[in-house]
Amino acid sequence: MSVISGSKSMEDNSFETLIASYISDNVGISDHFISDNLAEHLKTNLMALNKKKLLQPAGTGNAGKLAHNAAVRSDSIYWLDRKHNDKYENEFLDQIDDFIKYLNRSCFAGITDYEFHYSLYETGSFYTKHLDQFSNNPGRKYSMISYLNADWKESDGGQLKIYQSYNDKKITPTQGKTVFFKSNELQHEVLITNEKRMSITGWLKSGG
């Protein structure tokens, strides 16, 4: 991969930060991928959906192999969809569209689709060690997680632990931060959270 050069807008700078750090260490991190203003609106949406009991228990697997096991993961989710006509969700998806264009242009990634959902971890929740790509469907190419947690402290837990042969990482889920990595390469887990933990999690896809 190679990163394009030249003048960049603030958005392009956050895109390039994410890609350049991925190239450097197989885990891309941009601390300000989404603005505080957008993060706050998305968090408000998520909490409203939760109050209306519209979030569903998250499962593992896909299609006929979908399973729910609270000993493996205990978060709840709500899928984003432009058909919801939510201004702020669509603003987030617009940014993902722009990022995909940038990624495909600069890195020839061949991404053609994506899927994202809100994710809510209540106190005491976790997700054990796993890969994001399904064994029966290689469509997920890159995993992306954008966090919505203001004033998050180390003692709040809920870190994303990514396993690498040379340097395991623990990433604190602070507001605005986005993490980016190959879905079929890096095992990872969400450590037990001591506070309500919110994010938008998704995958960039190719090949249908």
Provide the number of structural domains found in the chain: 1
Query: In angstroms, rounded to a whole number, what is the distance separating the alpha carbons of residues 21 and 26?
Result: 7
At 85-104, the pLDDT tens digits run 999 999 999 999 999 999 99
Please check whether residue 1 lies inside any domain of the structure: no
* Selection from 147, 127, 129, 120 nearest residue 192 by Cα: 127
- Helices 36-51 and 87-107, axial angle in degrees (round to 10): 130
Please check whether residue 183 lies inside any domain of the structure: yes
Please check whether residue 66 lies inside any domain of the structure: no
Please check whether residue 5 lies inside any domain of the structure: no
Residue 2 is predicted with a pLDDT of: 35
- Domain ranges, residue 79: 10-61+71-205
Instruction: Read off the pLDDT band of 166 (50, 70, 90).
Output: confident
Please check whether residue 32 lies inside any domain of the structure: yes
Please check whether residue 91 lies inside any domain of the structure: yes
Query: In angstroms, rounded to a whole number, what is the distance separating the alpha carbons of residues 125 and 62?
Result: 22
* Selection from 160, 179, 164, 146 nearest residue 19 by Cα: 179
* Selection from 80, 112, 107 nearest residue 202 by Cα: 80
> Is 112 or 1 the better-scoring residue by pLDDT?
112
Sheet strands side by side (includes 160-162)? 127-130, 188-190, 160-162, 169-171
Residues 6+ apart with CB under 8 A from 16: 3, 4, 8, 102, 106
pLDDT(8) > 60: no
Please check whether residue 30 lies inside any domain of the structure: yes
Please check whether residue 29 lies inside any domain of the structure: yes
pLDDT(3) > 60: no
Q: Which pTM was predicted?
A: 0.89
At 144-164, the pLDDT tens digits run 999 999 999 999 999 999 999
Q: What is the CATH number of the domain that holds 182?
A: 2.60.120.620
* Selection from 195, 146, 194, 155 nearest residue 173 by Cα: 146
